């Protein structure tokens, strides 16, 4: 595999794909602050360079993973013997009347705050979600009874055949914390178009401030985490189920169930990926045993095979 990674680096350099790094700790690129070493991390300059890179990796059957802000992923502690692709360079933002076009590498919090400042309403729910546009579309990120499915008009994607097409909101099949892209991971979000509405800037700013205060009061934002671990079952709250079982503060290695919010697992003392995964699986089994409910994990497990 060493020879193949050398060949990948040569390809990146010869084709001016973009910046790259070798032997990168995934703990520096995930909000859990855990994960093993990735052999190569590359930042393609644009869509054409991305497609060129993907074609090479597919042809050579080299493992790769598209990664946004790492805010909803749990990497194992093993070496990722492949290429992590970051789309940070796809960061253009265009405003036109009540619509916004934003590249998949755009920070979602930044975009949401820009929309508020321009009196465009619809993305206020996302001002506390620490992801990228691409990751948020993929996961159908949401909060406060809203999500990307309510505001995304269309998405430009790369297909598994490496063609660029535009998919409509209906085709994206948004549902609670899922989307067409999540169910069909061969598709890659390049850019999203948001349809918003004119709003009262002062009212929107007040709403954002109020929600920020609520988050600070109810969520363990002073520790590394990946937000809510489990999806809420219908008409129930996963955090309440876990709290009622007495598992607030439960520890496995350096991982801990938050005492502020039981649906958050925090890296409170140099946790490993295995510590966090063990805690997730234990809680999932306990909830199934005690309530007969199978909780769905919101986070994506990467490199655990």
Condensed to tens digits (0 to 9), the pLDDT of residues 242-276 reads 999 999 999 999 999 999 999 999 999 999 999 99
Contacts of 110 (CB under 8 A, 6+ apart): none
Number of neighbours of residue 108 by Cβ within 10 angstroms: 26
Examine the residue annotation and report whether 298 is marked as an active-site residue of this protein.
Answer: yes
Indicate if the pLDDT at residue 58 is higher than 70.
yes
In this prediction, residue 262 carries a pLDDT of 97
pLDDT category of residue 206 using cuts at 50, 70 and 90: very high
Q: Is the pLDDT of residue 217 over 70?
A: yes
Written as six digits, the tokens of 132 are 């990228």
User: Out of 4, 25, 119, 177, which one is annotated catalytic?
Assistant: 177
Average confidence (pLDDT) over 139-155: 95
CATH numbers and ranges of domains, the chain:
2-86 (3.30.43.10), 93-203 (3.30.465.10), 220-302 (3.90.78.10)
H-helix or E-strand spanning residue 215: helix 201-218
Per-residue pLDDT of 167-198, as tens digits, reads 999 999 999 999 999 999 899 999 999 999 99
H/E stretch holding 266 reads strand 265-267
Percent of the chain residues past pLDDT 90, beyond the cut: 96
Pick the catalytic residue from 112, 121, 228, 258: 228
Could you give the CA distance from residue 44 to residue 41 in angstroms, rounded to a whole number?
A: 10
The pTM is what?
A: 0.94
Please report the pLDDT score of residue 154 as a whole number.
98
CA distance 295 to 239: 11
Is the confidence at residue 199, as pLDDT, over 70?
A: yes
- What pLDDT does residue 167 have? 98
Q: What is the pLDDT of residues 27-50, one digit of tens each?
A: 999 999 999 999 999 999 999 999
Band (1; pLDDT cuts 50, 70, 90)? low
163 is a catalytic site residue: no
Q: Which entry of 56, 124, 191, 298 is annotated as an active-site residue?
A: 298
């Amino acid at each position: 595999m060493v020879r193949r990674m050398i060949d990948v680096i040569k390809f990146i350099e010869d084709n001016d794909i973009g910046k790259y790094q070798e032997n990168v700790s995934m703990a520096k690129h995930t909000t859990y602050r855990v994960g093993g070493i990735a052999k190569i991390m590359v930042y393609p300059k644009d869509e054409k360079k991305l497609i060129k890179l993907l074609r090479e990796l597919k042809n050579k059957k080299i493992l790769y993973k598209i990664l946004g802000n790492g805010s909803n992923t749990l990497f194992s502690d093993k070496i990722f013997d492949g290429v992590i692709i970051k789309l940070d360079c796809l960061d253009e933002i265009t405003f036109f009347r009540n619509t916004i076009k934003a590249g998949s590498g755009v920070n979602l919090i930044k975009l949401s705050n820009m929309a508020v400042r321009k009196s465009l309403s619809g993305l206020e729910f996302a001002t506390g979600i620490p992801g990228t546009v691409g990751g948020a579309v993929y996961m159908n990120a949401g909060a406060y009874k809203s999500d990307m499915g309510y505001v995304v008009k269309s998405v430009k994607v790369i297909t598994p055949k490496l063609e660029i097409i535009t998919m409509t909101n209906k085709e994206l099949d948004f549902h609670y914390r899922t989307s067409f892209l999540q169910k069909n991971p061969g598709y890659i979000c390049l850019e999203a178009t948001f349809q918003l509405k004119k709003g009262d800037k002062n009212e929107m700013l007040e709403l954002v401030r109020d929600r920020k205060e609520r988050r600070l009061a109810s969520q363990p934002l002073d520790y590394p985490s990946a937000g809510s671990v489990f999806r809420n079952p219908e008409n129930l709250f996963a955090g309440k189920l876990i709290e009622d079982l007495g598992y607030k503060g439960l520890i496995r290695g350096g991982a801990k169930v938050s005492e502020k919010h039981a649906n958050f697992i925090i890296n409170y003392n140099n946790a490993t990926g295995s510590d966090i995964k063990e805690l997730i699986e234990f809680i999932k089994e306990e909830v199934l045993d005690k309530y007969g409910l199978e909780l769905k994990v919101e986070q994506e497990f990467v490199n655990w095979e």
